[in-house]
Amino acid sequence: MHVTFSDDELAFRDDVRAFFRDEMPTDIAKKQAQGVPLEREDHIRFQKALFNKGWAGINWPVEYGGTGWTTVQKYLFATEMANANAPFIIPFGLGMVGPVIYTFGSEEQKQRFLPDILESNVWWCQGYSEPGSGSDLASLKTRADRVGDHFVVNGAKTWTTLGQHADWIFCLVRTTTDVARRQEGISFLLIDMRTPGVTVKPIITIEGGHEVNEIHFDEVKVPAENLVGEEGKGWSYGKVLLQHERTGNAQIAVTKYRLSKLRAQVARPVRGAAPLADDRNFMRKVAATEVEVKALEFTELRTLAAVASGKAPGPESSILKLKGSELQQAVDELYLEAAGYYALPYVPDQYVLDFPDADRVGEGAETRSSLRYFNYRKASIYAGSNEIQKNIIAKHVLGL
Q: Are strands 186-192 and 168-174 parallel, antiparallel or unpaired?
A: antiparallel
Question: Do residues 380 and 321 touch, judged by C-beta distance below 8 A?
Answer: no
Q: Is 245 a catalytic residue?
A: yes
Q: Which of 166, 168, 186, 167 is nearest to 176 (CA)?
A: 186
Residue 133 DSSP class: B
Amino acid at 339: A
CA-to-CA distance for 252 and 321, rounded, in angstroms? 10
* Residues in CB range of 153: below 8 A, 6 or more apart: 142, 143, 144, 171, 173, 189, 191, 197, 217, 219, 220, 221, 222
3-class SS of residue 347: coil
Cα separation, 377 vs 384, in Å, equals 14
Q: Name the burial class of residue 321, with classes exposed (0-12), middle (13-18) and buried (19+) by CB atoms within 10 angstroms of its CB.
A: buried
Residue 241, Cβ neighbours under 10 Å: how many? 26
Residues 6+ apart with CB under 8 A from 311: none
Whether the Cβ atoms of residue 214 and residue 157 lie closer than 8 Å to each other: yes
Q: β-strand 186-192 against 227-228: which pairing, if any?
A: antiparallel
* Contact status, residue 25 vs residue 49, Cβ threshold 8 Å: yes
* Spatial distance between the Cα atoms of 379 and 70, rounded to a whole number of angstroms: 28
- Catalytic residue, from 80, 211, 231, 245: name it: 245
Q: CA-CA distance, 369 to 358, in Å (whole number)?
A: 17
Q: What angle do CA 123, 381, 102 make, to 5 degrees?
A: 40
Give catalytic residue positions. 245
